[in-house]
């Protein structure tokens, strides 16, 4: 047996290998990448929410095996149970129990080709023309458009920003306003938790209060929890449906391996729907629209949830270090800019209005620094003057983006 010193050396060697793995810059241009192929080659993309890291090796190996088989026929229909699908159901049931002490049944899982598809399907199935849907801007743009897609009316319950002395923004829910805007025609509340773009991970007391209001007024909750695995300590993700069986019956929860294990292009997600009648309505609404999920998506999802936990733990450590690096850089170089300290997600949210830029910040940074961020106004009027910064990339790429901003400001100052 090796000595304690040998074990320490092995652990340190593995840590170095891990760091080098995530520091590795993997070329993504001309790979059918939305993130990297949208802008010219001299622009550094820090926008759309996918990570510049390879997925867990177990996922890659499982996909290799499936590809080597060489036949890419139709997968089993969503309502035809296969051995692979049954195993995935059991893995997810066990995962909910282990992570959240949430006891769900295999039949409550409803598989979908994406979370955006999911909440739009919910709006069609449980909403209705002329009824209303509540959202909490600034929020992920497809959430803003879900109501109109289903001929519903969108009603906003904006999150309220507060800034401390260090300029850290913290967004809170306006519960009085939330209850005030519920009307007789209010059918749905589309919750985003963890919240994109503010990075909030809502607390148990916040979720309990939201759920109680919705129960009392007969408002169904559709909860987008796609970033629920990407949480920074000491915060903890709590699925709102896990609070209580009655709340679970009033909630449709949307989750996916796509953000967690960096595989959004494989188009796989799932809903947890304890309410049997709602499952029937989702099935009816999906006919002719979501009959199939990419066959390789099934393969990747099972491998990720079965064998990807150690990778997830390590990538979270790397993301937290990137977050801390970025926050420190902002404090040193843009101290006048209020910004979030994300509790979850890998997305920072910066209020660039104090910079008094000659144009909106998105256009300014794209033109002067050759860095592409998400334009804050896409997240609702509450995001005007903001940018969303994706820091899920190798540290050298993040440092390059920061350096480009410093150089852009220096050039502007010399004019």
Output the 3-class SS for 237-295.
Answer: CCCHHHHCHHHHHCEEEEECCCCCCCCHHHCCEEEECCCHHHHHHHHHHHCCCCCCCCH
- The verdict on 23 and 38 lying in the same domain is yes
The CA distance from 214 to 223, in Å, is: 12
Total structural domains within the chain: 2
pLDDT band at 84 (very low <50, low <70, confident <90, very high): confident
- The verdict on 368 and 357 lying in the same domain is yes
Q: What is the pLDDT of residue 165?
A: 87
- 3-class DSSP assignment, residue 198: coil
The reply to whether 69 falls in a domain is: no
394 pLDDT exceeds 60?
yes
Please report, for the domain that includes residue 315, its CATH number.
Answer: 3.90.1150.10
* Mean pLDDT along residues 391-397: 97
- The verdict on 240 and 316 lying in the same domain is no
The reply to whether 2 falls in a domain is: no
DSSP designation for 151? T
* Mean pLDDT along residues 16-40: 85
Q: How many CB atoms lie within 10 A of CB 259?
A: 23
The reply to whether 245 falls in a domain is: yes
- The verdict on 288 and 317 lying in the same domain is no
Nearest to 224 by CA among 202, 209, 244, 243: 202
Q: What is the pLDDT of residue 80?
A: 63
Contact 402, 350 (CB under 8 A): no
The reply to whether 4 falls in a domain is: no
The CA-to-CA distance between both ends of the chain, in Å, stands at 67
The CA distance from 63 to 54, in Å, is: 13
Instruction: Examine the fold and report which residue of 262, 292, 307 is the final residue of a domain before the chain moves on.
Output: 307
- The verdict on 313 and 303 lying in the same domain is no
The reply to whether 65 falls in a domain is: no
138-151 pLDDT, tens per residue?
999 999 999 999 99
- The verdict on 163 and 299 lying in the same domain is yes
The reply to whether 198 falls in a domain is: yes
The CA distance from 274 to 100, in Å, is: 16
Instruction: Examine the fold and report which residue of 276, 307, 338 is the final residue of a domain before the chain moves on.
Output: 307
- The verdict on 405 and 298 lying in the same domain is no
pLDDT band at 6 (very low <50, low <70, confident <90, very high): low
The reply to whether 66 falls in a domain is: no
Strand pairing category for 251-255 and 269-272: antiparallel
Instruction: Examine the fold and report which residue of 289, 307, 325 is the final residue of a domain before the chain moves on.
Output: 307
* Residue 300, φ and ψ in degrees, nearest 5: -65, -40
pLDDT band at 90 (very low <50, low <70, confident <90, very high): very high
127-136 pLDDT, tens per residue?
989 999 999 9
Please report, for the domain that includes residue 271, its CATH number.
Answer: 3.40.640.10
Domain membership of residue 149 as a residue range: 74-307
- The verdict on 349 and 291 lying in the same domain is no
* Mean pLDDT along residues 12-16: 44
- The verdict on 324 and 302 lying in the same domain is no
The reply to whether 235 falls in a domain is: yes
- The verdict on 92 and 148 lying in the same domain is yes
* Mean pLDDT along residues 66-79: 84
Rounded to the nearest integer, the mean pLDDT of the chain is 93
- 3-class DSSP assignment, residue 11: helix
- 3-class DSSP assignment, residue 132: strand
Place of tokens 């007391």: 205
- The verdict on 30 and 112 lying in the same domain is no
CB half-sphere exposure, 233, CA atoms < 13 A: 5
4 pLDDT exceeds 50?
no
374 pLDDT exceeds 50?
yes
- The verdict on 111 and 176 lying in the same domain is yes
């Amino acid at each position: 047996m090796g000595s304690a010193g040998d074990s320490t050396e092995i652990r340190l060697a593995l840590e170095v290998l891990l760091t080098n793995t995530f520091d590795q810059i993997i070329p993504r241009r001309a790979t059918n990448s939305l993130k990297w192929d949208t802008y010219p080659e001299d622009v550094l993309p820090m926008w759309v929410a996918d990570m510049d890291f390879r997925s867990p090796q177990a996922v890659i190996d499982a996909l290799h095996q499936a590809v080597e088989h060489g036949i890419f026929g139709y997968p089993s229909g969503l309502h035809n149970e296969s051995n692979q699908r049954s195993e995935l159901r059991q893995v997810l049931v066990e995962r909910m129990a282990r992570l959240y002490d949430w006891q769900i049944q295999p039949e409550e899982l409803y598989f979908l080709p994406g979370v955006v598809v999911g909440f739009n399907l919910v709006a069609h199935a449980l909403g209705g023309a002329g009824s209303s849907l509540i959202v909490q801007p600034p929020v992920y743009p497809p959430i803003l458009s879900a109501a109109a897609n289903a001929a519903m009316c969108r009603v906003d319950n904006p999150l309220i920003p507060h800034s401390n002395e260090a300029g850290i923004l913290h967004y809170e829910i306006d519960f009085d306003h939330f209850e005030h805007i519920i009307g007789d025609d209010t059918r749905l509340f589309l919750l985003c938790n963890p919240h994109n773009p503010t990075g909030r991970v809502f607390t148990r007391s916040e979720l309990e209060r939201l759920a109680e209001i919705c129960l009392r007024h007969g408002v169904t909750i559709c909860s987008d929890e796609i970033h629920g695995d990407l949480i920074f300590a000491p915060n903890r993700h709590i699925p709102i449906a896990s609070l209580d069986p009655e709340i679970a019956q009033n909630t449709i929860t949307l989750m996916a391996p796509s953000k967690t294990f960096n595989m959004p292009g494989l188009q796989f997600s799932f809903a947890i729907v304890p309410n049997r009648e709602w499952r029937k309505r989702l099935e009816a609404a999906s006919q002719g629209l979501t009959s199939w999920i990419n066959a390789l998506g099934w393969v990747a999802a099972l491998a990720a949830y079965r064998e990807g936990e150690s990778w997830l733990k390590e990538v979270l450590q790397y993301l937290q270090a990137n977050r801390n690096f970025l926050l420190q850089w902002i404090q040193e170089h843009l101290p006048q800019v209020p910004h979030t300290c994300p509790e979850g997600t890998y997305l920072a949210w910066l209020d660039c209005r104090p910079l008094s830029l000659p144009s909106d910040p998105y256009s300014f940074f794209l033109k002067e620094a050759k860095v592409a961020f998400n334009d804050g106004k896409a997240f609702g009027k509450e995001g005007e003057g903001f940018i969303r910064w994706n820091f899920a990339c190798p540290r050298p790429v993040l440092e390059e983006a920061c350096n480009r901003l410093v150089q852009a400001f220096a050039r502007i100052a010399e004019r």
